[in-house]
Structure 1
Amino acid sequence: MNPVVLRTIPILGWLFIGFGLLRPVRALSVPLRLVFWIDVVLSVGVHAAQIPAARRAAGPGVPLGRVVAMTMLFGATWWKTL
């Protein structure tokens, strides 16, 4: 699949989190609150857990800061396409 399409999904997730932070979560409906918290766990927790694998996949030529930033933003869709 096209990497641009794959990278759109995490961006939409981060935008949804931003929307949830700007508009109080309790103002959202119960299903949207559930989706919000699932998105937070996946975007923050799972992307952070992927950093060690991303460091190995990126190799020695990619700075650690870039690996961390890109993995937190895009998750595995960034480093799997290297």
Structure 2
Amino acid sequence: MTPKTALLRTIPILGWLYLAFGAGRALRGRPLRHPLARAAWWLDAVLSVVVHAAQVPAAVRVAGGDRSPLATALLTMTFGMTWWKTQPGSETKETNP
């Protein structure tokens, strides 16, 4: 993994940590109060859950037989396209399904 890829993969991890932080605060009865913090949490939730889930079919196509569909889905949900776009041969597999 290149340093650039590692750096790009930290972004979704930080997003998941922020989601966990905000959810933990809400469960303890101390939700995020600042409007920008709340908006960022909801935007992060949509990007992390909805957008990553929408990427799973493309990721499964790109992974082909290299990984199980379940492993591919879990890695895509965790890292989004910073995982499947950085796989070897993803450019050729994506354009030639």
TMscore range, shorter length: over 0.9
- Between 1 and 2, higher relative CO (CA 8 Å, sep ≥ 6) is seen in 1
Counterpart selection for 1:61 from 59, 66, 70: 66
Shift >3 Å, 4+ stretches = none
Instruction: Quote the RMSD (CA, aligned, Å).
Output: 1.4
Question: Any gaps of 5 or more consecutive residues in structure 2?
Answer: 88-97
Percent identity, aligned pairs only, is: 49
Whole-Å Cα distance in 2 between the matches of residues 69 and 22 of structure 1? 22
User: Please, what TM-score do these two structures have when normalized by structure 2?
Assistant: 0.80
Larger Rg: 2
1:73 equivalent to 2:78? Answer yes
Question: Any gaps of 5 or more consecutive residues in structure 1?
Answer: none
Whole-Å Cα distance in 1 between the matches of residues 21 and 73 of structure 2? 23
User: Please, what TM-score do these two structures have when normalized by structure 1?
Assistant: 0.94
